[in-house]
A and B are shown apart, each in its own frame.
Chain A
Amino acid sequence: MVNIQLPDASLVKEYVAGNEDALAKLIKRHESKIYGFIYSKIPDRDITNDIFQDTFIKVIKTLKSNSYNEEGKFLPWVMRISHNLVVDHYRKSKKMPLFRETEEFSIFSIMSDDSMTIENRIIADQVELDLKKLIEELPADQREVLVMRMYQDMSFKEISECTGVSINTALGRMRYALMNLRKVIDKHQIILTN
C-alpha cells in the first residue's frame, strides 16, 4: 500500500479549518528538526523545551487568528520563530551585572578555571576504563540494570519495562551490582579516584 503523506500546506489548511489532529501531525513531522535546531543553539533540555513550547504557542496563535500567509513554507517559518526566540533568550540572559577591574578588586580573584588538567583527564579516562572492565565481570542481569541506569540514564520504571521484571527486582539488581562492584574493588584494592 502506498503511504501518501499530506503536504504541510494541506495540514495547515485542515488545522485552520478546525482539525486539531492536523497540528499533532505537523508537530510530529517536524519536532526533531525544530527541537534539534534549538538544542544546537542552547544545549539545555529544559530551556529547549520551553522555547519549543513558546514557538508552537506562537504558531498556534498565528494560525488560529488566520494571520498565516506563507503556504508551503511551514517549516522555515517555524524555524524562524524559534530562531527569534533563541535570540531573545540570549538577549535576556546577557543582562548581567558588569564588573570593572580596580586596585582592590580583580575579576580573577573570583574566577577560576574548573576544567580538568591533562593529567586529571588521563586519570579520569583510566578510571572509567577500569570501571568498565569491572562492570563486564558482573552477572548479566545486574550488569544490564546498571548499564541502563548509569550509562543510558533510564529510570527504574523504564528499566523494568525493558527487561520485563518488576521495579523492585530492578532496584535489587542495581543494589547487588553496586555491592559486587564494591566487593571486587575492596578485594583487589583497586583505587578509583580523581
Chain B
Amino acid sequence: MAKIYSKKSLVSQTMKPSEETLSFLLNYSKALSIVRIKNVDIEIISN
C-alpha cells in the first residue's frame, strides 16, 4: 500500500508492559540470589 491514511486507535493502547518484559522479570527474580558476605552483597544468577 502506498499510503496509510488510518489513525491508530487509542482504544487498543493498554497501559501494560509487554509479555517479554514480565516474563524476563519473573525469570530474573527466580534466578537471582543475593548473599551478603562481610557487608558486601554478592549477586548470584543461576542458570
B25 lies within 8 A of A56 (CB): yes
Q: A65-B34, A131-B6 are in contact. Are A52 and B21 (CB under 8 A)?
A: yes
Q: How many residues of B contact A (CB 8 A)?
A: 30
> Which residues of B line the A interface, CB within 8 A?
1, 3-9, 11-12, 14-18, 20-22, 24-26, 28-30, 32-34, 36, 41, 43
Q: A35-B16, A151-B6 are in contact. Are A64 and B32 (CB under 8 A)?
A: yes
Q: How many angstroms from the CA of A23 to the CA of B26 in the assembled complex? A: 8
Q: Mark A27-43, 1 if CB is under 8 A from B, else 0.
A: 10001100110010000
* Inter-chain contact total with CB atoms closer than 8 Å: 74
Chain A interface mostly: helix
* Interface assignment of A111: CB less than 8 Å from any CB of chain B: no
Minimum Cβ distance to chain A for residue B2 (Å): 10
B15 lies within 8 A of A35 (CB): yes
- For the side of the interface on A, what is the size category? 20 to 34
Q: A131-B6, A152-B9 are in contact. Are A53 and B33 (CB under 8 A)?
A: no
Minimum Cβ distance to chain A for residue B14 (Å): 8
Q: Mark A2-45, 1 if CB is under 8 A from B, else 0.
A: 00000000000000000010011001000110011001000001
Of the candidates B8, B21, B33, which one forms a contact with A151 in the assembled complex, judged by CB atoms under 8 Å apart? Answer: B8
Of the candidates A32, A39, A65, A153, which one forms a contact with B41 in the assembled complex, judged by CB atoms under 8 Å apart? Answer: A65
